[in-house]
C-alpha cells in the first residue's frame, strides 16, 4: 500500500496518474497481472516508444515494477502492479505514531461456522469440506484460506499502547469475498465488522470470485472453486468508520470501549439479517494479494503531567 501523508510528497505519483493512457496501462496490469511492453503497446494501439515513456513515469512513481525475462525475441521487460492500494491524507494531523501486525487468517480466537464452510493450508484441505468441527483443529493456525456461509471469525490484536498513548485510529486491511458453492461472481453478501463487541459497519461483497486463477493460489487448488477476493481497507477514527475512504457508519474510535490494558478484538462475520452470501478470507498464499490480515494501531502521545 502507498500511504501519502503529505500532498507534496505525492507529486510524482499524482503526475503519473494525470494521464488517461497511464490509467489504461494500470487497468491492463490489474486485469492481466503482468504484461510485456510489446503486449501493452499492442493492446493500446501505440508504438513501443510511446509506451516506454509512460511506463518509465509509472515505474518512477512506484506504481509498477519491471523485471526482465528471456523471451523468443530476446530480453523482455515484464510489467507488474507494484502496489494494491493508495491512500492520501488531505488534512495533515501532525506527527503520528503507529504500529502494525499481520495476523494469519487461521489465528482466530473465536468462531462460529455453518456450511458451506472449510479451511485449507497452502498444502492441503484441513479435514473435510463443510464440517465445522475442523475449525477447532490445531492445524487451523496454518490456514491460508477460510470460508463459511453463516457465522464469524474473531481475532485478537495485541495492545502495545503505553499509559501516555491515546488511541486515535484502527485500520484493518484484508482480502475478502462472499462464499458460494463453487464460485459465483454475482453473489452479494453483507459482511459486518465488530471491534470490542461494537458493530462498526457493514460492507457488501459483490461476489465469490472465480473463473481465473488467483495470483497466489497453490497449484493443487481446484479451478472450479473460488479464486480471489477484493482488498478492503477498514478505518475507524475520530470522524467515523470507512471502507476504502467511503463512510459506512458514524461509529467513532471513541465509541469503542478500550481500557488501555486489554487486547483489541476484531470480528468479521456474515450479517444475520441482510444478504446472507457467506464470507471468505484469503491469506498470503491464496487470492491476488500476498498478505494476511494487516492491523494498524494509530495513536498520539499525550502529556500525563
pLDDT tens digit string along 21-54? 999 999 999 888 889 999 999 999 999 889 998 9
More confident residue, 14 or 118: 118
Is there a single domain that holds both residue 27 and residue 169? no
Is there a single domain that holds both residue 271 and residue 147? yes
Is there a single domain that holds both residue 25 and residue 123? no
Is there a single domain that holds both residue 49 and residue 113? no
pLDDT at position 92 is: 56
Q: What is the CATH number of the domain that holds 208?
A: 2.60.120.260
Is there a single domain that holds both residue 75 and residue 162? no
What's the domain count of the chain? 2
Is there a single domain that holds both residue 75 and residue 117? no
What is the arithmetic mean of pLDDT over 98-117?
A: 97
More confident residue, 271 or 3: 271
Output the average pLDDT for the chain: 91
Domain boundary among 46, 71, 86: 86
pLDDT band, very low/low/confident/very high, at 12 (cuts 50, 70, 90): confident
Cell of 272: 444475520
Pair type for strands 165-177 and 279-282: antiparallel
Is there a single domain that holds both residue 81 and residue 97? no
Tell whether the model's pLDDT for residue 253 goes beyond 70.
yes
Is there a single domain that holds both residue 150 and residue 211? yes
> Closest Cα to residue 282, out of 192, 176, 171?
176
**Lowest mean pLDDT segment, chosen from 8-17, 115-124, 219-228:** 8-17
Cell of 44: 493500446
Is there a single domain that holds both residue 57 and residue 206? no
What is the arithmetic mean of pLDDT over 219-239?
A: 96
Is there a single domain that holds both residue 105 and residue 254? yes
Tell whether the model's pLDDT for residue 188 goes beyond 70.
yes
Domain boundary among 51, 70, 86: 86
More confident residue, 70 or 185: 185
pLDDT at position 93 is: 56
pLDDT band, very low/low/confident/very high, at 174 (cuts 50, 70, 90): very high
3-state SS, the chain, equals CEEECCHHHHHHHHHHHCCHHHHHHHHHHHHHCEEEHHHHHHHHCCCHHHHHHHHHHHHHHCCEEEEEEEECCEEEEEEEECCCCEEECCCCCCCCEEEEEEECCCCCCEEEEECCCEEECCCCECCCCCCHHHHHCHHHHHCCEEEECEEEEEEEECCCCCCCEEEEEEEEEEEEECCCCCCECCCCEEEEEEECCEEEEEEEECCEECCCCCCCCCCCCCCCCCCECEEEEEEECCCCEEECCEEEECCCHHHCCCCCCCCEEEEEEECCCCCCCCEEEECCCCCCCCCCEEEEEEEEECCCC
What is the extent of the structural domain holding 30? 2-86
- Given a contact cutoff of 8 angstroms between Cβ atoms, the answer to whether 302 and 168 are in contact is no
- Give the tens place of pLDDT for each residue, 115-133: 999 999 999 999 999 999 9
Is there a single domain that holds both residue 145 and residue 61? no
Domain boundary among 86, 114, 148: 86
- Give the tens place of pLDDT for each residue, 39-94: 999 999 999 889 998 998 898 888 998 888 776 667 788 998 887 778 777 765 55
Tell whether the model's pLDDT for residue 235 goes beyond 70.
yes
- Given a contact cutoff of 8 angstroms between Cβ atoms, the answer to whether 118 and 130 are in contact is yes
Amino acid at each position: 500500500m502507498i500511504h501519502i501523508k503529505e500532498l507534496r510528497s505525492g507529486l510524482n505519483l499524482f503526475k503519473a496518474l494525470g494521464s488517461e493512457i497511464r490509467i489504461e496501462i494500470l487497468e491492463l496490469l490489474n486485469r492481466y497481472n503482468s504484461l510485456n511492453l510489446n503486449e501493452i503497446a499492442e493492446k493500446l494501439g501505440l508504438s513501443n516508444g510511446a509506451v516506454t515513456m509512460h511506463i518509465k513515469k509509472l515505474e518512477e512513481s512506484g506504481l509498477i515494477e519491471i523485471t526482465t525475462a528471456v523471451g523468443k525475441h530476446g530480453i523482455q521487460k515484464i510489467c507488474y502492479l507494484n502496489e494494491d492500494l493508495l491512500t492520501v491524507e488531505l488534512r495533515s494531523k501532525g506527527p503520528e505514531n503507529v504500529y502494525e501486525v499481520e495476523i494469519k487468517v487461521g489465528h482466530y480466537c473465536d468462531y462460529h461456522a455453518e456450511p458451506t464452510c472449510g479451511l485449507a493450508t497452502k498444502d492441503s484441505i484441513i479435514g473435510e469440506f463443510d464440517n465445522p468441527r475442523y475449525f477447532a483443529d490445531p492445524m487451523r493456525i496454518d490456514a491460508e484460506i477460510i470460508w463459511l456461509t453463516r457465522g464469524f471469525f474473531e481475532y485478537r490484536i495485541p495492545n502495545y499502547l503505553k499509559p501516555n498513548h491515546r488511541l486515535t485510529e484502527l485500520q484493518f486491511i484484508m482480502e475478502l469475498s462472499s462464499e458460494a458453492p463453487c464460485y459465483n461472481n454475482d453473489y452479494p453478501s453483507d459482511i459486518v465488522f465488530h471491534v470490542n463487541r461494537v458493530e462498526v459497519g457493514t460492507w457488501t461483497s459483490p461476489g465469490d470470485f472465480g473463473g481465473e486463477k488467483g495470483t497466489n493460489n497453490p497449484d493443487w487448488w481446484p479451478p472450479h472453486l473460488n479464486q480471489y477476493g477484493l482488498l478492503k481497507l477498514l478505518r475507524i477514527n475520530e470522524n467515523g468508520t470507512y471502507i476504502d475512504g467511503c463512510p459506512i457508519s458514524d461509529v467513532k474510535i471513541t465509541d469503542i470501549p478500550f481500557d488501555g490494558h486489554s487486547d483489541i478484538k476484531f470480528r468479521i462475520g456474515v450479517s444475520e439479517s441482510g444478504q446472507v452470501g457467506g464470507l471468505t478470507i484469503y491469506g498470503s498464499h491464496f487470492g491476488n494479494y500476498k498478505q494476511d490480515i494487516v492491523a494498524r494501531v494509530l495513536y498520539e502521545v499525550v502529556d500525563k503531567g
